[in-house]
Structure 1
Amino acid sequence: MIKYISVVMIFLFFGSYSNSSFAQKKFEKENCLKQNDVPLNPLNFIDSLSFNDKVKWYLEEGLEKKSIEAKFKRNGKNTS
């Protein structure tokens, strides 16, 4: 029984150690954009969907890229 517990403890110890060494590094930052600052292509696309609700625009910055995100409510649920 003690041998079984020792083996389990060893697996738990090394399992928790290896997970932290292979973890991804993530950086993400969102900044609000005014509708005037949004490029024409995404603005036209969202306008073509004819939402009745207000659309909020965000500039999303990651480690390797930047993107523009539109957030709004549709059928009572938050959508982006």
Structure 2
Amino acid sequence: MGIKRSIYEVLKVFSGKFKLEVLDWMWSNRASLPETALHFDISAPSTIWSWEKKYNEKGVEALFNRSCKHYYLFRDGEEKNERG
């Protein structure tokens, strides 16, 4: 038998180029956060809000910051990084 892991949620990591494309589309179409999230199949409109906030506060370079870690949240509430 193999190891059973019941992953509840995997956090997606989006490229800076994609983030900028999403924001440009939203601004040029005067779309709301939910409309933009739907258009780009992003589950949480608040994700786009955080990108816009970073852009407004720190500039376009902030969208390309790759300092995030990949975490997996298991049903037992324990977080583990991608190495286990």
Which TM-score band (shorter chain)? under 0.3
TM-score normalised by the chain length of structure 1: 0.26
Larger proportion of strand: 1
Larger proportion of helix: 2
TM-score normalised by the chain length of structure 2: 0.25
Per chain length, whose mean CA-contact separation is higher, i.e. which structure has more relative contact order (CA < 8 Å, sep 6+)?
2
